[in-house]
Amino acid sequence: MKTFKNSIVTAGLAIALILFGIAIPALAYEKLTHSGNGVRVTVKPVTLAPSQKVKFELRMNTHSVELDQDFTAVSELRDDQGRSYRPDRWKGSPPGGHHRKGVLFFPALEKPVKSVTLIIRDLADTPETTFKWEVKP
């Protein structure tokens, strides 16, 4: 009976470590914030790994301008190898208003990649707002 309990505990710990190991990459990327011309933009990678569709969560807040951008048209992702990726889609708040949030989807990154830069153009009269992350292996 003692051997059976030890086996159950060992299996439980193994499953917990696997689940924790899978969750760590999602938590590994920090949220970056940029404030300028009355707009606060916060971006957090949801998925950022080679061979997986890239996703960024965006949140924007302002009390001075309309947030009417089409994020699939004004966004670009560049990697450290000089490759450029255009977003596939935006899933979130429609254009307009003072508070927007959603997820911006990009194609999977090509290997090798060490870092990526998200560029959002023409947000509140700012030519380029950039956010950069080192890609974790």
pLDDT tens-place string over residues 16-31: 444 454 444 444 799 9
CA 120 – CA 77 distance, rounded (Å): 9
User: What residue segments make up the domains of the chain, in order of their start?
Assistant: 1-29, 31-134
Q: Regarding predicted confidence, which is higher, 18 or 61?
A: 61
Q: Regarding predicted confidence, which is higher, 4 or 69?
A: 69
Cβ-proximal residues to 92 (8 Å cutoff; 6+ apart), any chain? 58, 100, 101, 102, 103
Cβ-proximal residues to 22 (8 Å cutoff; 6+ apart), any chain? none
pTM of the entire predicted model = 0.79
CATH code matching the domain that covers 31-134, chosen among 2.40.50.140, 1.10.3720.10, 2.60.40.1930, 3.40.605.10 = 2.60.40.1930
